[in-house]
Structure formats: structure tokens, C-alpha cells
Amino acid sequence: MKKDNSNHWLRFGLFLITLGLFVFLRVFAITQNLHLFGDLGRDLFVLQKWSNNLLKPPLLGPQTSVVSFNQSAIYFYYLFPFFLLMSHSVYSTLVASIMLYISILLGCGGGIEKSQIGNGD
């Protein structure tokens, strides 16, 4: 007996619509909203400095704005490959964050369970 997959396709469709809306709202009018001051400027400066001297990666991450406390440097380690692949572009941080959001969404709600795929029954 075959299972009704309409509920599965409805959930998958809603997930795709949500994902598409999220990405659209994140990149909508990005040229007017992407400024090179504050945190983004600091992050790009650190990545540029690291790309000039590959043997000296940053050991501390970005400093929080509330108190003088540095976060983990894993943030820069995540951004650096995107920074290099996009030829030191400002948009590398945008692409890195979108890829992170999509992977989180796929991991949390977009995965298809093995029982939903069906095994020919």
C-alpha cells in the first residue's frame, strides 16, 4: 500500500517558499544597505590583513560591542575561504552568511526523513 505524500510535498513547498523569501529579503537592495564601516569594515580589514600574510591567522575573533570581550576566531576562519574565492569582495560576507543560513535551515527543517522517501512498498 502506498502512502499519501501530499503532506510531505506541502511541507517541502512551504519550506522552499520560506527559504526563497528569506534569501530575497536578505539580499534585497543590498547595495544601499551594505556599508563599509563598523563591524563589516573591521571584519574585511582583518581578512585583508590575513590574506596579505597567510602564516599569521587571527587568533582572536571580533570584539563584542557591549564589553571588551573577544569572540572566537572561528568566525574569521569561516569567512576567509569565501573572501578568497570571491577575490576579496565585500559581498563575500553576504554569501558566507547566506550559505550558513541555508545550511542551518536545511539541517533543521528541510531534511527528508528516510521513512518519507519510501522504499517501493
Residue 99 in any domain: the answer is: yes
Residue 75 in any domain: the answer is: yes
Residue 98 in any domain: the answer is: yes
DSSP 33: H
**Full residue range of the structural domain in which residue 43 is found:** 6-62+69-117
pLDDT for position 80 = 95
* Nearest residue to 98 (alpha-carbon basis) of 14, 30, 9: 30
Report the mean per-residue pLDDT for the chain.
Answer: 80
Does this model's pTM top 0.75? no
Q: How many domains would you assign to the chain?
A: 1
Confidence band for 54, pLDDT divided at 50, 70 and 90: very high
Residue 28 in any domain: the answer is: yes
Q: How many CA atoms lie within 13 A of 6 on its CB side?
A: 1
Residue 1 in any domain: the answer is: no
Contacts of 35 (CB under 8 A, 6+ apart): 41
Q: Are 36 and 91 in contact (CB under 8 A)?
A: no
Per-residue pLDDT tens over the stretch 56-101 = 999 988 887 778 888 889 989 999 999 999 999 888 988 898 888 8
